[in-house]
Amino acid sequence: MGYWPVFLDIGGRPCTVIGAGESIEDKVRRLLDAGALVTVISREPNDGIKMLAAAGEIHHFAREYRYGDLHGNLLAYIGGCNAEMTAQAVSEAREVGVPLNVVDQPECSSFISPATFRRGDLQIAISTSGSSPAVAGMIRRRLEQQIGPPYALILTIMRRARQFLRLHEPEQAARADKLKVLAAALLDSVEQLDHLQIEHLLRLHLNAESGELGVDLRNAIPARHGPVCRDG
């Protein structure tokens, strides 16, 4: 089976999760983090789902799945249900065109969820096309060690730099060149980045300072050069 990697904007969109267990709660929380409107259908939800429902963060129906529950959803998950219920949900999903992930039966799914992690605006997804979720998780943990918080700061700077250049550089080609050079300089220096180094790069490539971009570097990342010593 061939998979096409995409990132869906699910903010404010309805998504349904059917079943119970830790894996189901994990899907619910990830959907909430992305801003989805989540409905959970579970006769025996775990404590985490109960707490989310009590807080009004999700809609919860304390019953089993019924045909028609998937209608109008952007996507859905099901897991921990009996074979007949799962088969009916798979059939409905195909009929109404709702992508469905069967948590414990990837071969029945119309999409799979990759192992992911975030660093601010940076989101990295790892997929083994369903061959080994364990391997995907191991690769994710290794990348989490390599790609740390400075990458989130770099993206914040680049976003603000784009906004700054739209106001101060009329030529689109010149804006693109400056952004490309700045991005390369920040990434090349990622292991040594501190606010003094960033200020130097901004002055060098944008002729600007962090304050002009609206970035508070001193609270975002510490200086590595130590305090300034003065005579006397």
- Each residue's pLDDT tens digit, 147-165: 999 999 999 999 999 999 9
Count of Cβ atoms closer than 10 Å to residue 45 Cβ: 23
Torsion of CA 28, 159, 219, 193, to 10 degrees: 110
Averaged confidence pLDDT in the chain: 91
- Model confidence at 226: pLDDT above 50: no
Cα distance between residue 203 and residue 86, in whole Å: 59
Tokens at 117, concatenated: 């992690």
**How many residues are present in the chain?**
232
- Read off the pTM: 0.80
pLDDT of 62 over the 60 cut: yes
b (16+ CB within 10 A) / e for 176-207: eebbeebbebbeebeeebbbebbeebbeebbe
Backbone angles phi, psi at 172, to 5 degrees: -65, -40
Across residues 50-71, what is the average pLDDT? 97
Residue 171 has φ and ψ, to the nearest 5°, of: -85, 120
- CA-wise closest residue to 136 among 114, 117, 105, 110: 114
DSSP 8-state secondary structure symbol assigned to residue 45: -
Q: Does domain 14-113 have CATH number 3.40.50.720?
A: yes
Tell me what pLDDT residue 221 has.
63
Is 137 a residue whose pLDDT tops 70?
A: yes
